[in-house]
Structure 1
Amino acid sequence: MIVADVMSRGIDPVSPEATIQQAAIRMAEDDVGAVLVGSDDQLEGILTDRDIILRVVVDGLDVTSVRVRDVMSSTLFTCNEMDPVADALKEMTERQVRRLPVLDSEGRPIGLVTLSDLGKRGRDPGQATEILREIAEPHRREARPDKGEDAGTPQS
């Protein structure tokens, strides 16, 4: 099975010049936890609901004036639509992320694959659960080492 079999397509990137409020509205309308940032030809970053909470809300910033470019994650880990699903899972585990932007053979963004996509549509849904545990575990220990496995929250 390849990434193209399980990914979400038709992802319309948000402009890096958009406000956080505009991006959050898009996320709410599309019922997603992340949006790609850039253009149809070039990916510049990804913005997650967690980015908004930790980099805007916690600091009490104005969502109508802060720009996506100031909050997005610009270090991107991607995969290709023709990559085996196992490779995408491996990348998510190694990079401790739940989402990978998907690029076509020419490097253009065409979608997003999430751990949830892999769990729902992949061959082994239990594997996605185990990967999520591996992704979340280091963050739990860093957040509250005295509370063990139940402390903290996983990364978006």
Structure 2
Amino acid sequence: MTTARDLMSPGAECVGSEESVQQAAERMAQLGVGALPICGTDEKLKGVLTDRDVVVKVLAAGKDPATTKAGELQQAEAVTVGADDSAEEAMATMTEHKVRRLPVIDGTTLVGMVAQADVARSLPTPDTGELLAALSAD
């Protein structure tokens, strides 16, 4: 059975909830990623900040990315998948919540991220096509 751990990119780096969106965007550029998990001062996962969030919720809204905190953009509850959950469970979670990037946790520890591209590289074409169609639908 293929698990989320098999699909994920390991070593996801968090942005602190008190760090600025500017700092988060700079880290995304450095790492070449389009999303960063948001972790609180308690080191627990609080959500995910995406490049789209930066554009839509900060820049387009006229907020200053240097003073807007990453934590201001976190969701009510972080959507995650367990490291040992099946690939099918990861895809179902991504589909249900319409997310292209999914934090992978082992217990309460962030261990990686599964992105739509990870699914495309690792799973058969029909499964990938179903996920892409679900995420692209309104």
Common fold by TM > 0.5:
yes
Letter in 2 for 1:132: L
- Give 2:72's match in structure 1, choosing from 63, 70, 74: 70
Q: Give structure 1 stretches of 5+ with no counterpart.
A: 139-156
4+ residue segments displaced more than 3 Å: none
Q: Structure 1 residue aligned with 2:47, among 37, 45, 48?
A: 45
Higher-strand-fraction structure: 2
1:90 corresponding residue in structure 2: 92
Q: Distance in 1 between matches of 2:76 and 2:47?
A: 4
Deviation of the 1:41 alpha carbon: 4.1
Secondary structure of the 2:16 match is coil
- Taking the aligned partners of 1:18 and 1:137, their CA distance within structure 2 comes to 33
Q: Which blocks of at least 5 consecutive residues in structure 2 are unaligned?
A: none
Are the equivalent residues in 2 in contact too, given 1:116–1:128 (CA < 8 A)?
Answer: no
Change (3 A) 1:31 1:102: same
- Indicate the residue corresponding to 1:127 in structure 2: 127
Q: Which residue is equivalent to 1:136?
A: 136
Normalization by structure 2: what TM-score?
0.91
1:7 and 2:20 equivalent? no
The two structures, once aligned, show a CA RMSD in angstroms of: 1.5
Amino-acid identity (%): 33
Across the two proteins, how many residue pairs are aligned to each other?
136
